[in-house]
Structure 1
Amino acid sequence: MTDDTLHGLLTELTPSKAKVDAYLADTYVLETVEQLTRLGLDPERFSSEHSLLLLKPDAIVARAVEPTLTWLADNDFEVVDARRVVVDRHVARALWYFAWNIASPERRRLADLLVGISDVLVLVVRAPAAQLPTPVRLAEAKGATDPRKRQPGDLRYLLGRHNYLLNLVHSPDDPADVLRELAIYFDEDTRAEVLTRALEGGDRRAHAAALGRELYAETPARSFARADAVARLCAELGAAATESLDHRTSTADSDAAHVALLDAAWSAGRPLDPWSLIVLGSYVLPMRTGSGAQTLRPVGATDWLEARP
Structure 2
Amino acid sequence: MDNVNQLLVDYNVIDLTIRLLGAILIFIVGRWIARRIVSMISKTMGKRGIDELLITFVGNILGVVLLLVVVLIAVGHLGIEVTPLIAILGGAAIAVGLALQSSLSNFASGIMLVSFRPFTRGNFVEAGGVSGVVQSVGIFNTQLQTPDNRLVIVGNSAITGSPITNYSAYETRRIDLIIGVHYDDDLKLARDTIMRVLTSHEKVLEDPEPAIMLMELGDSSVDFAVRPWVRSEDFWPTRSDLLEQLKGELENAGCSIPFPQRDVHLFNESADKAVSGSASGEKAA
Fold similarity call, TM over 0.5: no
- TM-score, normalised to structure 1, is 0.27
- TM-score, normalised to structure 2, is 0.29
Please tell me whether Structure 1 or Structure 2 has the larger radius of gyration of its CA atoms. Answer: 2
- Structure 1 or 2: larger strand share? 2
